[in-house]
Structure formats: structure tokens, C-alpha cells
Amino acid sequence: MTVTIDVIETQPLWGTFERHREHLFDQFRIVPWVADSGLAPEDLARAVDDYLAAHPDEPRVVQKANVLRIIMTRGQIALDPLDWYADKLNHGHLVAKLNRRWLREAESTVIRQEAGWFHTAYRIGLAKGGLDTGHVSPGWENMFRGGLSGLIAQARAQREAAGDGATPEQLAFWEALEIVYSAAIALSRRFAALAYQLADRYPEHRARLVAVARVCDQVPERAPRTLHEALQFAWFMHELIEMEGERVRSAGHFDRLFLPYYTADLAAGRLTRDQAKELIKHLWFKHYARTRGRENGKNYCLGGQYRDGSEVVNELTYLALEAYEELGTPDPKLSVRFTPNTPDTLYRRVADLIRRGQSAFVLMNDVPAVEALVKRGKTVEDARAYLPIGCYEPAVDGKEVGCTMNLTLNLAKALEYALHDGRDVLSGQQIGPHTGELSTVTTFEALYDAYTTQLDTILDRCVRYIAAHEHEWPRINPSPLIAGTIDDCIARGKDIGQGGAHYNAVGCVGMGLANVVDGLLALQQAVFEEGRFTLAEVVAALDANFRGHEPMRQYLLNRVPKWGNNDPRSDALARRIADHYCAKVHTYSNARGGPCQAALFSLDYQWRLGRATAALPDGRKARESLSPGVGAMTGRDRAGVTALLQSVTQLDFTQTPNGSVLDVTLHPSAVSGEEGLAAFVALIKRFFAQGGYAIQFNVFDVATLREAQRHPERHASLQIRVTGWSVYFTALSAHEQEQFIARYAHTG
């Protein structure tokens, strides 16, 4: 169908977002499904079951493609006349249920032994992990270049070129691509037809509905030509890929990806700056309407550099920040990349937003991020094109399947096991290897060796479990929708779970670093240097959770240097521990032919895994939270934020290609006024200049949080950065609020 792109009318289309905001907030909760547009979920489920029963021997990827086809071509759809985007497909989460069924089959058969061990590991607070299909990003530019019809043409060309030399797996993969992309095009045409129908039914919204119909006639079949088409294409594929079974944890390098469409629209007079901003707000608000603030946020990237090293920051960067400010929601979240050439204007704009309460930012330093990726085999050009996936875990845009959260490992458990000959204290199970009774540990180096032996052995077992899952990925969750967008999958005829992507990584996240540093240093000083306590006495106190041993606990807490205070001994030990962990992770390869990559952060696992961790020699009691991020244990960075930054930047972040982050809380008085803003910017720049990787901020005082507890209605918009995402403080439970306040009470 040939479409003429007209100048979009200025009234009554535009300037209505705030008027309709409450209605749009309910767009995923109250959906006007068109009954005769397709099958309801229960009928779709029967159609899917009938297909699977009739085709039990088809390759799994073809089965998955046909299930998606049935849903996209036969499921009910809906459109909202007040919405600029077409996205409502009543799929009933049927694909997610199918993926879970296939996962259960794998865990009960081929990976049963490893799965049993790892389920125990999670229950006792040692580790969380498995097959990570939740940290991916499609190849946005590959999709945009020729539309889905272009990807279909590529798959056909590869099949023809391979001829008789193609394997059955390759043929199945290329067939699956054609099935799903043809179905996606058909779905978009269904949306276009519905939009035209609704335009006749709702003449007061005709202009918008016709615009939506024209956009759906163009994309995703063909390449987008306008900002509206590009945004619809991206959102449409986001929704379909998430339905397929992957969490799209990066929605793209926004100011780089969409700039050509934005500038072309302005030049042609198709959009004004404010109209473009309204399109962005409508799209970004969908994320918050979908999660209602209860999930960990969708990541958009701003700033950074192009593949040739030139600066990305442009007019769209600032328009996006303006839209974000006006939305005032914690979802989506923004990752802002900084280079040595980033203009001060961007530093000041972002810092100002943060100090005024919009905390859903992570600030990333391109210098160590790019170098870390290059060290793990990426070209420098590809490394410059990284996207923060999830929270702050980088992967090469359009070329890498990073699986950045395959493993989260509690480093403090290795210290617990080193002090108990491999025994998990709270469960009583023998989890780690036998590294010797306490009587055999007579020097600090012997203790450190026991710690690293426990850590290395645990890592071996965890990586084995991940590999077992990854071997089954093609059967657990075949992924043709996303795979065809990633470089080399079509050329190789391989799904992402088969190693089809250009780069294939596995993320291994270490958390609780500060507890290990503080605990080992406490034992080094109090036991092996001063002889104040014997090792047996300390372990007895730990086993008693310090009951009857409070003087010892106070000594360990307050008389031994703590990580995060610019103390040379603790800083050196932190570097030693972190270097060992990263080096060990980097000895492993994954089942898809790529490397395992180290990270140091915690997300919310300092609470989850901390609840099952015994008392530690740093003075932390059993079941309390572990240390957050890559910084000091809560309340122990007593020398101030400058000292904290000095300690953290002693670590080598070029050894954490899977990411890291420092959490910093500032009192509002420290960043108020022009002088405070300048100081805030200087702090960020100092962290980056010293080699820091990523940093995120909260700016508040505890009194404000207490006031919000008493009068939540007065503080409904109070955002806090919980970990890799932000939430409204008043949306937390009372227990979660108290945990958060306790974490930051020392800031005043």
C-alpha cells in the first residue's frame, strides 16, 4: 500500500497528554478488546494445544514460531483512540506458560542433578541464577534498516545460498524467521485495519487513528521514515519479543537511534519539537502504566559515543530529558553515558534532575566500560556501541547476547564456609569443600587461601549449572523473533541460544564485597596480628550470632578499618579480592562459545541472600542485609563521600565487563543552589577521572522519608533509587520503607 506522509494537524491531536494521563495510566488494566477481532485467550490456548498435538515432531524453533503465528494472526486486538501506538494483543501469556513447561521438562530430565544443587544454593543464600533470557536487547538498527521484510529476504537468501549444505537446524531456523516475521507484519496490518474502522466510529479522534493506521501500514514491514514510525516499530517489536519470552532490558540508544528520524521530521515540517516530545511521552509512559511502579524499570540509553568515537549528545538528548522531567515517573529509567568529551551542559542537566528528586538515573563512564569490553574480545568500534542492559550491564548493541544476570554469587558465603570447613551455618549442609578445621588455619594467608578455594569451587559448580541450562536453551526457549535482528544469527542459521550472535557472553555477578573485605581485615588484625582473639573464639561468637560476645562485636565493628574510608589496607585487600574473583570468572567459557564476564554489584540481592547468610567477622549479624553495590557496608563509610569514591576507584573496573555500580546518598543541603550543583558535577567528574565505572544517587534526608511515612498523600511523587531501579517511596511496604531508611540513616 502506498502512503503519502502529510503534515500532521496541530489540533486537536497535540497537547493532550496531561489531560488524558489518568486514562492512559489504565491502558493495560482496562483494555477494550474488540470481541470479533480474534480469539479470546481460552480459545487461543485450544488452538495452540491443537497445533502442538498435531505436530509433536517439528523442530522446537518451528513449533515456537507457529505458536507465535497463531497468536499474532488470530488473537484479539484493541486500539485506544487516545493512544498514538498500536500494541494491544490479547495473548493470555500463552507463550510464557509454554516456555515454563519446556523449562520444567528440561529440569526434570537432562539437567536434573545440577538443577537440584542450584535450587539448594538459592534457598541457603549462596547464589541465584540459571538461564537468563531476561537481559537482552534486539538489533534495533538491523530491524529499521529494511523492516521485517528485509530480514525475511535475508533468511531466504541464506537458505538459497546454503543449498544442500544446510543443516536441518539451519533450515528450521530460517523457516521459523519467515513464519514469525510474516505473522508480525500480518498483525500490524490487522492494527491498521482496526484503526481505519475506529476512525469512522470515532470521528473526533479520526486524525490520530488515521495517523496510527498509516504508520502500521508502513512498519514493521518496511523501514521507518518518520519518528512516529520508528517509535511504533520499536515498541511493537518490544512487545512481541517480550511475549516470545525475552525481557527487553534495554529499549535502545535513544538519542543515537532516533535522531535521524527526528531531524528529518523537523526539516520536512512533519513535526514540531513539542509534538515530538509528546510522542516520546506517550511511549515512555507505557512502561510505567504497564508496571505501575512495581517492577525494575525499562532502560533507555542517552549520551556516549558513536562507533567512530565522536560524541552522541545532541538536541534529542535534551528533548528526551525534558520529556522525562515532565513525566516524573520512575519507569522508564535512564542510563546516561559520559565520555571525556561530554559537554558540561549534560552533566549539569542530569545532576539538576537528580537533586530535584528524579533518581532513576545511572551515570556511566565510557572509558573503563569500553576498555573492559575490548579486553574480553570486542573490537573498539563495537565496544563504543554498548548498551546498558538491565541496570548497568553493557552489551554491544545489535551484536551481543549478554545474558548479564546468569549468576549472582554471594561472596560472603565463601568466607562463611572458609571459617566452617565448607559447612553452611544456618542450614547445616556441607556445601563447600573441606578446607580444614580452624586448628589448621594458623596464618592470614592460610585463611585467605581457604576463602579463595571455597569461592573457586563454588564458582565451578555454578558455572556448570549455567552451562547445563544453556545447552538446553534451544529447547527451553527458542527465540526466532529476536534472533533474526542480531548480527550473524541469520548468516549462521543459528538461534541466539545456539550461539548465533556475533558475541555471546554470560554474566557472573559478585556481591557482598565489602563484607568480605571488612571480615578478612578484622580477622587479620584482631586474630593474626594483635592476638586479641583466637580464630576459634571469633567463630564461636559468629555461631552464637554474637550473643554474649557484644564487646568482641563492637571491637570488630569499630576498631578495625572499614572498606570505603580511603584506608590503604582495606583498599588493597578489596582490590586483591575483586581481582581474584574477576580473574577466576574470566577463566570460563559459556555453552554458546563466548566468555563468562565478571561484575560487582548487588541489585536487591543484599537483602534476599543476606537473609540466609550467617553472622560474619565484620560484625554483621546473621540474616542482616549484605553490602550494597560495590561500595561500603551500610553505615560504615564514615569518612565521607570523597573518601568513599577514593576507595572504590582503587578497583580495576576494566576487569568488570559485565558492570558495576556505586550507590551514593547526598543530603539536599550539599547540592543546593548554584554552588551545590557545581559541587555535584565536580563529584561525578572526579569519580570518572579516577576510573570509576557507574554511579547512582539518592538525594534526600531521613526526616523527609519519615514525613512521607506519616503523610504519604503529601509525598506521592517522592522517588528513591532502591538499587538498579527507582520507585515511589510511598509505594513500598512499611517493612521495605524501614529497610531503606536504615540503609541511609547515617546520611542525616
The one-character DSSP state at 660 is B
Quote the pLDDT of residue 3: 31
- Cα 556 to the chain's mean position, in Å? 36
The answer to whether the CB of 598 falls within 8 A of the CB of 582 is: yes
Classify the C-alpha dihedral 532-537-539-540 as positive or negative. negative
Task: Name which of 700, 704, 707, 703 is nearest 722 in CA terms.
Answer: 700
Task: Name which of 220, 276, 225, 183 is nearest 86 in CA terms.
Answer: 220
* Residues 6+ away with beta carbon under 8 Å from 44: 38, 70, 71, 74, 75, 90, 91, 92, 94
225 pLDDT above the threshold of 70? yes
pLDDT tens track for 446-493: 999 999 999 999 999 999 999 998 999 999 999 999 999 999 999 999
pLDDT tens track for 202-212: 999 999 999 99
Kindly give the residue spans of alpha helices, DSSP state H, lying in 477-534.
Answer: 480-483, 489-492, 513-523
Quote the pLDDT of residue 74: 99
362 pLDDT above the threshold of 90? yes
* Residues 6+ away with beta carbon under 8 Å from 76: 33, 34, 35, 37, 38, 39, 40, 89, 90
pLDDT tens track for 369-402: 999 999 999 999 999 999 999 889 999 999 999 9
Q: Please give the C-alpha separations between residue 615 and each of 74, 92, 157, 482, 658, in angstroms, as whole numbers.
A: 56, 45, 61, 44, 29
Average pLDDT, the chain: 93
pLDDT tens track for 43-68: 999 999 999 999 999 999 999 999 99
Task: Name which of 506, 671, 516 is nearest 593 in CA terms.
Answer: 506
Quote the pLDDT of residue 297: 79
Mean pLDDT for 298-324 is 98
The set of cell numbers assigned to 86 is 498500536
Q: Please give the C-alpha separations between residue 154 and each of 139, 143, 158, in angstroms, as whole numbers.
A: 15, 12, 6
Mean pLDDT for 542-563 is 98
* Residues 6+ away with beta carbon under 8 Å from 61: 172, 173, 176, 474, 478, 480, 495
Quote the pLDDT of residue 714: 64
pLDDT tens track for 226-273: 999 999 999 999 999 999 999 898 889 999 999 999 999 999 999 999
Quote the pLDDT of residue 734: 79
Mean pLDDT for 554-560 is 97
Distance from C-alpha of 644 to C-alpha of 474, rounded to nearest angstrom: 44
Quote the pLDDT of residue 726: 54
2 pLDDT above the threshold of 50? no
The set of cell numbers assigned to 195 is 484503526
Share of the chain above pLDDT 70, in %: 95
Which of the four pLDDT bands, split at 50, 70 and 90, describes residue 329?
Answer: very high
Distance from C-alpha of 653 to C-alpha of 387, rounded to nearest angstrom: 17
Quote the pLDDT of residue 743: 62
290 pLDDT above the threshold of 70? yes
pLDDT tens track for 137-186: 999 999 999 999 999 999 999 999 999 999 999 999 999 999 999 999 99
Burial class (CB in 10 A: 0-12, 13-18, 19+), 56: exposed
Quote the pLDDT of residue 28: 96
Distance from C-alpha of 673 to C-alpha of 88, rounded to nearest angstrom: 45
Share of the chain above pLDDT 90, in %: 83
What is the secondary structure of 391-427 as a DSSP string? TTEEEETTTEE--TTSEEEEHHHHHHHHTTTTB-TTT
Quote the pLDDT of residue 196: 98
Kindly give the residue spans of alpha helices, DSSP state H, lying in 328-384.
Answer: 344-355, 366-375, 380-384
Structural element, H or E, at residue 163? none
E strand intervals along 208-365 = 250-253, 299-303, 333-338, 361-365
Q: Please give the C-alpha separations between residue 72 and each of 36, 146, 210, 343, in angstroms, as whole numbers.
A: 15, 21, 22, 45
The set of cell numbers assigned to 520 is 578478612
Distance from C-alpha of 297 to C-alpha of 727, rounded to nearest angstrom: 9
Distance from C-alpha of 220 to C-alpha of 232, rounded to nearest angstrom: 8
Q: What are the domain boundaries of the chain?
A: 400-465+488-659
pLDDT tens track for 716-737: 656 665 655 456 677 777 777 7
pLDDT tens track for 594-629: 999 999 999 888 989 999 999 999 999 999 999 999
715 pLDDT above the threshold of 70? no
747 pLDDT above the threshold of 70? no
pLDDT tens track for 98-117: 999 999 988 888 788 788 88
The answer to whether the CB of 177 falls within 8 A of the CB of 233 is: no
Mean pLDDT for 22-28 is 97
Distance from C-alpha of 473 to C-alpha of 319, rounded to nearest angstrom: 40
The answer to whether the CB of 129 falls within 8 A of the CB of 407 is: yes
The set of cell numbers assigned to 385 is 556501541
HSE-CB at 646 with a 13 A cutoff on CA atoms is 11
pLDDT tens track for 416-438: 999 999 999 999 999 999 999 99
Distance from C-alpha of 127 to C-alpha of 699, rounded to nearest angstrom: 31
Task: Name which of 74, 170, 180 is nearest 481 in CA terms.
Answer: 180
Distance from C-alpha of 37 to C-alpha of 194, rounded to nearest angstrom: 8
Q: Strands 400-401 and 503-504, how do they pair?
A: parallel
- DSSP lists the bridge partners of residue 408 as 128, 509
Quote the pLDDT of residue 623: 97
